Amino acid sequence: MEIRNLKVQDNRLEINSIYESSWKCAYRGIIPQDYLDKIPVGQWADRIGEADRNSLVLIENGYPVGTVSFGRSRWEDYKGYREIFSIYLLPDYMGKGVWRTAAE
């Protein structure tokens, strides 16, 4: 596994599908299923890789299986701090320590 910066040529819809799959799995039974079922394809695609955030991609066998975005805090009281905005994995990779393994 490899953790690398998001590249300009990375397919944003492919990365977005990690967000969608993760939401639909992790929030099942917490958020109404009707809401999860209606998440529009590409909902987050245009925000991935925005200039105000850094994005990393977790790659296994050439395919993205996870993503994390971080940047300057969006909270007024925490200006000067950094914030993790999102961490998502495809459901098959959840709970297996893949971020830790990839970072070693």
Instruction: List the domain range (segments joined by +) for residue 29.
Output: 2-103
Half-sphere exposure of 104 (CA within 13 A, CB side): 5
Rg (the chain; Cα; Å): 14
CATH number of the domain enclosing 7: 3.40.630.30
Q: For residue range 26-51, what is the model confidence (pLDDT) as tens digits? A: 999 999 999 999 999 998 888 888 88
Mean pLDDT of 50-73: 92
The pLDDT of residue 77 is above 80: yes
Q: What percent of the chain has pLDDT over 90?
A: 69
What's the domain count of the chain? 1
The pLDDT of residue 103 is above 70: no
The answer to whether residues 67 and 88 touch, using CB atoms and an 8 Å cutoff, is yes
Q: What is the overall mean pLDDT for the chain? A: 90
